[in-house]
Structure 1
Amino acid sequence: MRILDWYILKRYLVTFLFTLLILIPIAVAIDVSEKVDKFLAHSDLTAMQIIDQHYKNFIIYYANTFMPLALFIAVILFTSKLSNNTEIVAMTNAKISFTRFLYPYMIGATLVTIFALAMNHFVVPNSSKERKEFEKQYLTRKKYTDHLVQNFSLQLNDSTYIYLKSYNFKSSNGTYFTIENYKGIELVQKLTADNIRWNENDQKFRLTRYKLRKLYKEKDSIFTGVNLDTTFAFTPKDFLFKSALAQEMPSDELSEFIEISRKRGVKNLNAYLVELHKRTSLPISSYILTIIAVALAFKKKRGGIGVNLATGIAVMFVYVFFMKVAEVLGGVAGANSFIYVWIPNIVFGGLALYLYLNARK
């Protein structure tokens, strides 16, 4: 790399970090003003707990969220400054093409993309889990329904179905449990119990007042009892509706959950698929946003940095709006979640290509 490449790359990364460090304190200040009363309402809550369990994870989450915006604004700011200082004119006179000029930008975008991919797939989900546990314990009102599921049914595989009238996660106790096994369309076994209780230590269920019915061609067999300790191919975690918890699962766990749910016959997994695909599509947008920002700020304009910044923020607003709409549409049953999540990148990738070709002229 030439000295000029190092110069641009350094400005790229420094301005990006500087912009990100401006946005984060603003978000923290707003959050503190909204939640300070709730913090003070808990006398046992220390400042260290708030910082370690909430704001550490808050900063990780919002730094990742603001990353595309910070990157876009940063590239426009320092590229516009290069243009206003006629540094780009000097580069052009030195026969440096627009494509060659983009070289250090693409290196910077690659570094940001790799970092963002690692954050999205592994760091942010674990951080979000800890942050939401803190919020649930100290910042939100606890409702009885938060730990209760009612009228729950699940297809474990092609031949096994379960049903629960209710299950309380706090007491690990459920009522009116049924599990049915089929061979084709014929019922071959049915186990019912008035109560089902999960034992965390033994990793077993205890059925109370149970009845096991086995169906044969010529006769049925029925077994009854008071208590039965047994294991099944599921745990209480499978009773949770996890679309709201998808953000808290690392990508390997989320992919495994999607695969298991698909085998169990869950019809609409788009809410999970949108979250999984978004973790890759958003970091890749670093390349697209960088090209758009450079192309917008490459040429010196009347009005200086202000005009470029206003144009850039407008483009970024449209991109974010388009991305959120695509996520909602991608979560609808029957939609191709992969296509919808990547549509904003495809459309703005086309815009980036147009601006790139125009800037080369």
Structure 2
Amino acid sequence: MRILDKYILFRYLKSVFFTLFILIPIAVVIDVSEKVDKFLRHDDLTFLQIIKEYYLNFILYYGNTFLPLATFIACIMFTSKLANNTEVIAISSANISFTRFLRPYFIGATILAVLALGMNHFVVPNGNEVRNEFEATYILSKKGNRSFVKNFNLQLNDSAKIFMKNFSVLNNKGYNFSYTEFEDTKIAYRIVAENVTWNEEKGTFKLSKFRERFVYADRDSITNGIDTLMTLDFTPDDLLISGSKSMDLTSDKLIDFIEKSERRGIKNLNAYYVELYQRTSLPISAYILTLISVSLSSRKKRGGTGVNLALGVGMMFMYVFFMKVAVVLGSAPDANPFFMAWLPNIIFSLIAVYLYLREKNQG
């Protein structure tokens, strides 16, 4: 690697992390101002616990979220500074093509992409789980927690299905429970209960005031009882099916969860698929955003860095807008989640190629 490559790479990475160190404290200060009164309500909550369980994972999450923005802004500012100091002209005068000039930038983008992939797939989901548990315990009101579900159907396998009128995850208790087994299209077994209670230690459900029915070819057998225990292939966590839960699962667990849910007959899992695919598409955007930012700012312009920064920030907000739209559209039942998760990258890669070819031809 040449001295020039090392110089650009070092300044590129330094600018990215410096930008992150500016953005993250701002997010922390805003969050502290909003939540300090809620922290003070709990006498048993220590300062070390707030830092360890909440703000450490808060920084990991928002640092990873801000990484594309920091990459874009830092790359524009650093490259604009090179252009304003006529360093880019000197590099071009040394017969170094624009394509060759991009090499240290893409080495830096590769480092950031690999870092972001590891964070997205494994580190951040674990942190989200701890942070969300902290929020549920100390910050969110009971009304704000999704801890109560109504009219829940779940297909456990090809021949078994459960239904619950309502269930509270706070006290692990539900009402109007039924479990049905089928042979082809006919009911073979059914048990209903007025109350059902989950025992987490034993991994069993306690059914109270139940009625059990066996259906035979020539007769039915019906039994009533006070209490009975059942072991079923689901837990109360499976009742809270929402796209937000996917953020708390590492990618291997998320894949297992999707496969298990598909076997259970849950129809629309696109929100989970979008989350899974975006964990790869967002880190790859480091290459696209780097190419756009260098192509925009590698020439000295009237107005200096401010013009380049304004163009870049505007384009970055467009990227964020397309990304949010892709999440919403990709979660729809009839959507293609893979295509929608990659759509922002597809659109902006076309923009990046156009800007690259224009800058290359002008050089």
**Shorter-chain TM-score tier:** over 0.9
CA positional deviation for 1:356: 1.0
**Residue matched to 1:100:** 100
**Residue matched to 1:176:** 176
CA positional deviation for 1:64: 0.7
| Structure-2 separation of matches of 1:240 and 1:31 | 26
**Residue matched to 1:227:** 227
CA positional deviation for 1:52: 1.6
**Residue matched to 2:77:** 77
| Structure-2 separation of matches of 1:255 and 1:278 | 14
CA positional deviation for 1:211: 2.6
**Residue matched to 2:142:** 142
CA positional deviation for 1:29: 1.4
**Residue matched to 2:190:** 190
**Residue matched to 1:65:** 65
CA positional deviation for 1:344: 0.6
**Residue matched to 1:310:** 310
- The SS at the match of 1:143 is helix
TM-score by length of 2: 0.95
**Residue matched to 1:321:** 321
Whichever residue aligns with residue 330 of structure 2, its letter is: G
**Residue matched to 1:113:** 113
How many pairs were matched up? 361
| Structure-2 separation of matches of 1:13 and 1:296 | 19
CA positional deviation for 1:146: 4.3
| Structure-2 separation of matches of 1:144 and 1:318 | 31
Q: CA RMSD in A?
A: 1.6
Inter-CA distance 262–315: structure 2 relative to 1 (3 Å threshold): same
CA positional deviation for 1:148: 2.5
1:29-86 deviations in Å (ceiling 9; x for gaps):
1112222222223333222222222211111111011100000011111111111111
Inter-CA distance 107–144: structure 2 relative to 1 (3 Å threshold): closer
TM-score by length of 1: 0.96
CA positional deviation for 1:142: 1.9
| Structure-2 separation of matches of 1:105 and 1:230 | 59
| Structure-2 separation of matches of 1:171 and 1:14 | 50
Inter-CA distance 20–209: structure 2 relative to 1 (3 Å threshold): same
CA positional deviation for 1:190: 1.2
1:203-234 deviations in Å (ceiling 9; x for gaps):
12222233322222222223333332231222
**Residue matched to 2:27:** 27
Whichever residue aligns with residue 112 of structure 1, its letter is: L
Inter-CA distance 169–72: structure 2 relative to 1 (3 Å threshold): same
- The SS at the match of 2:22 is helix
Q: Is the 8 A contact 2:296 2:308 kept in 1?
A: yes
| Structure-1 separation of matches of 2:145 and 2:353 | 51
| Structure-2 separation of matches of 1:339 and 1:327 | 11
| Structure-2 separation of matches of 1:145 and 1:22 | 32
Inter-CA distance 146–74: structure 2 relative to 1 (3 Å threshold): closer
**Residue matched to 1:2:** 2
Inter-CA distance 237–339: structure 2 relative to 1 (3 Å threshold): same
**Residue matched to 2:289:** 289
CA positional deviation for 1:144: 9.0
Inter-CA distance 43–210: structure 2 relative to 1 (3 Å threshold): closer
| Structure-2 separation of matches of 1:137 and 1:75 | 40
| Structure-2 separation of matches of 1:6 and 1:219 | 83
**Residue matched to 1:129:** 129
1:265-319 deviations in Å (ceiling 9; x for gaps):
1111111111111111111100000000000011111111111111111111111
CA positional deviation for 1:9: 0.6
CA positional deviation for 1:240: 1.9
| Structure-2 separation of matches of 1:247 and 1:74 | 27
Further displaced range: 48-57 or 4-13? 48-57
- The SS at the match of 1:266 is coil
**Residue matched to 2:331:** 331
| Structure-1 separation of matches of 2:144 and 2:320 | 36
**Residue matched to 1:261:** 261
Inter-CA distance 145–53: structure 2 relative to 1 (3 Å threshold): closer
CA positional deviation for 1:327: 1.0
Structure 2 unmatched ranges of 5 or more: none
Inter-CA distance 144–87: structure 2 relative to 1 (3 Å threshold): closer
1:168-195 deviations in Å (ceiling 9; x for gaps):
2233222222111112211111122222
| Structure-2 separation of matches of 1:333 and 1:162 | 23
| Structure-2 separation of matches of 1:202 and 1:52 | 31
